Structure 1
Amino acid sequence: MASSTQTTIKQEPFLTKPSTSKQSATTADLKEDLKATTKPEDETFEQFYSEVKAIEKRDAVLTPEQQINRLLRPGATYFNLNPFEVLQIDPSTPFEEVAKHYRRLSMLVHPDKNPTMTDRASVAFEAVNKAYKMLEDETERKKCIEVIEEARERVDKMIGPVSTLLLVCIAQRTVFFDHSANRIQEKRVKYKNQPIEEDTPEGHKKAMWSVTCKLFADIERLRVREEANKAEERKRKAEETTEREERTKLRKEWDKNYEESRETRVNSWKSFQTVAKSKDSVKGKGPALFKPPNPVIQLRRCPIQSRKNSADVRFVLV
C-alpha cells in the first residue's frame, strides 16, 4: 500500500497545471491567431453591411408611393419638363446609367406594380417614359443641357457680389430677370457681402433648381403660345380655303345651270314672238302698239282772285 501511494505521489507532478506565465502567453497567442484569422472576414462583413444599408436607404427614398407623389405633386406640369429632374440624375450622367435608372424607376411606378393607385401610377409612368425619350433623342438632350447651362450662368450672376450685379444691370440697362436676384442683392447689401445662404452648396443647388424650373416653364409657355398661333393660322387658312372653294363651286353650278337653260330660254322667246305675231295677223292691225289709258274728268275747287280782292271759287276742268 505504501508503495502504491508513493507511486501515485510521484506521478502527481505530471498531472499538475502549467504555470500562470505560460498560460497567459498561450492565451495571447491564441487571441492573436484568432484575430488574424477573422480580420478579413470582419472587414468583408462590415463592407457588405454598409452596402446593404446604402441600398436600404436608396430604396427607402425610391419607394413607389413616394415617387408617384413626387411626380404628381402640385406644379408637376412644369417641374416634369426637366427630364433630369424627373429621373433624378445629373446632366453629366452617361446614357447607359440613364437607361439603368429609367428601368429601375419605371418598375417602381408601373401601374401593374401599383394596383391600389393605378390611375396615378399611369400618369407617373407616362412622365418617366416621356423624360427618357427626351434624353434618348440626342437633339432634345442637347437642348435640355443648354437650358441647364443657361440657368447656371444666371445663378452665378445672381449670387455674385453686389458690385458685379450692379455693373451688369447698368451695362444692360435693365433690372434683374426675377425677384430672386433682387432678394439676393438685398441680402448682400444687408450683410455687407458676408456669406449668405446661397453661397453654400445646398443654397446654390436650391437656387439652381428654382432658375432651371423657371427657364423650362418659360420655354414651355413660348412653345404652347407658338403652337396656338400656328393652329390659329392654320384654322384661318382652312376657313379661307373652304370659303374660296364654296364660291368656286357655286359659280360652277350657276354657269352649268345657265348653259343648260340656254336652249329653254331661246325656245321660250321664240314661242312668245310667234304668239304675238299670230295675234297681230288675226286682228289685221299690224304690230301691236302701246295704248294709253282713257282720260278721266275731274273737278277741283280752284280759288281765283278777282279785281276787287274777293275770293271766288270756281270749278276748273283738270
Structure 2
Amino acid sequence: MEEKPAEPAQEDGAAQNEDVLKAFLSEVKEIEKVDSRLTPGQQIERLCRPGATYANLNPFDVLQVTPETPLEEIKKQFRRLSILVHPDKNPDDAEKSQKAFDAVAKAWKVLENEEGYKRCMEIVEEAKGRTEQMVKEKKKKLKKEGKSSNIEEDDPVKFDHAVYVLTMKLFADLERKRKEQEMKNAHEKKRKHLEEEGEKEKEKEDKEWAKNFEASRAQRVDSWRSFQTNKKASAPAPVAAPVPARARPGFLKPPKNKPEQRH
C-alpha cells in the first residue's frame, strides 16, 4: 500500500507559520501603540529636516536613544522607528519616508557592529571630556576675575545638552575628514591611473617603433646597396694630369738675359 503524506505535520507547520505571523502583527500593533506620540509624519520630517545630512551622522540621535541605552533596547527602538517610517506605511510621501527609513537602518547598522559601536562611544566620551575641560576653564576664569564660579553647565540637563552639541560637531568633523580623505584617495588613484596609462602608451609606442624599425631593416640595406652600385656606375673616368712643357721631348730652354755692362 502507498504511504499517505504526513498531512498532520504539514498542518502543524502551517499553523506554526501562522502563529509567527500573528505574533509579528501583534508586535507591530504594540510598537505603533507605544509610539503613538511619535507620528510617522513627524519622524519622517525629523529625519529629513534641513541639516539632517550631518545630524543623522549621530546614530544615537537618529534612533532617539542615549549612549547609555543597552544595545537590546536600542534594537527595539530601531524596530519601532523602522516600522513607523517604512515607505509601505507612508505611500503618500514615499520618497521622504524611504530617506528616513534608510537613515534609521544605517544608524542601527553602525551600532549593531561592535567596532562601529566602539567608535561612536569614543566620540561621545571625547565630547564629555572636552565639555568637562571647558567647564573647568570657565570656572577658573571666573574665579580669577573675582566672580561667582556658578555657570549654566552646572545644571545636569544643560551639561548634557553641551555634550550633545559637541558630539554632533565631532561626528560632523569626522565625516568631513572622511570625505576629504576619500577625495584625496580618489585624486591619487586617478593620478596613478593616468601615470600608468601614460607609461603603457609610451611602451606601446616604443614597441611599435622597434617593430617598424626591424621590419624596414632589409629595405634600408637594399636601398644602401643600390645607392652604392649606382654611385660607382655613374662615376666619371679619371683624367690624366697634364705634363709640364719642360718635361716634353725636344723642348728648348730660352737663353738667359745677360745684364748690360757699363764702362
TM-score normalised to structure 1 length? 0.60
Map 1:1-318 → 2, pairs under 5 A:
58-60=35-37, 62-160=38-136, 162-164=138-140, 166=141, 192-194=148-150, 196-280=151-235, 285=237
| Sequence identity percentage | 48
CA distance in structure 1 between the partners assigned to 2:147 and 2:93 by the alignment: 49
Amino acid at match of 2:66: D
Amino acid at match of 1:94: P
Contact 1:151 1:215 in 2 (8 A): yes
Per-residue Cα deviation, 1:163-213 (whole angstroms, up to 9, x for no partner): 44x4xxxxxxxxxxxxxxxxxx79x9797223x433223312221211111
Amino acid at match of 2:112: E
Instruction: Report the secondary structure of 1:120's partner residue.
Output: helix
Matched length:
208
Deviation at residue 242 of structure 1 after TM alignment:
1.1
CA distance in structure 2 between the partners assigned to 1:249 and 1:144 by the alignment: 51
Classify 1:189/1:103 alpha carbon distance in 2 versus 1 (closer, same or farther; 3 Å): farther
Deviation at residue 286 of structure 1 after TM alignment:
5.8
Q: Give 1 or 2 for the bigger CA radius of gyration.
A: 1
Contact 2:58 2:107 in 1 (8 A): yes
Deviation at residue 233 of structure 1 after TM alignment:
1.4
- 152-161 or 252-261, larger mean C-alpha shift: 152-161
Contact 1:72 1:124 in 2 (8 A): yes
TM-score normalised to structure 2 length? 0.72
Classify 1:96/1:163 alpha carbon distance in 2 versus 1 (closer, same or farther; 3 Å): closer
Classify 1:103/1:162 alpha carbon distance in 2 versus 1 (closer, same or farther; 3 Å): closer
CA distance in structure 1 between the partners assigned to 2:138 and 2:62 by the alignment: 34
Classify 1:58/1:113 alpha carbon distance in 2 versus 1 (closer, same or farther; 3 Å): closer
Classify 1:190/1:153 alpha carbon distance in 2 versus 1 (closer, same or farther; 3 Å): same
**Structure with more contact order per residue of length (Cα contacts < 8 Å, sep ≥ 6):** 2
CA distance in structure 2 between the partners assigned to 1:221 and 1:229 by the alignment: 12
CA distance in structure 1 between the partners assigned to 2:203 and 2:156 by the alignment: 70
Instruction: Report the secondary structure of 1:202's partner residue.
Output: helix
Kindly report the root-mean-square deviation, in angstroms, between the aligned alpha carbons of the 2 structures: 2.5
Deviation at residue 95 of structure 1 after TM alignment:
2.3
CA distance in structure 1 between the partners assigned to 2:199 and 2:48 by the alignment: 48
CA distance in structure 1 between the partners assigned to 2:134 and 2:178 by the alignment: 26
Stretches of structure 2 that go unaligned for 5 or more consecutive residues are 1-31, 240-263
Amino acid at match of 1:78: Y
Deviation at residue 155 of structure 1 after TM alignment:
1.6
Amino acid at match of 1:243: G
Contact 2:35 2:80 in 1 (8 A): no
CA distance in structure 1 between the partners assigned to 2:147 and 2:158 by the alignment: 16
Where does structure 1 differ by over 6 angstroms across 4 or more consecutive aligned residues? 188-191
Amino acid at match of 1:285: A
Could you say which structure has the higher strand fraction?
1
Contact 1:162 1:189 in 2 (8 A): no
Amino acid at match of 1:65: G
Contact 1:161 1:193 in 2 (8 A): no
Per-residue Cα deviation, 1:215-239 (whole angstroms, up to 9, x for no partner): 1111111111111112111111111
Contact 2:43 2:85 in 1 (8 A): yes
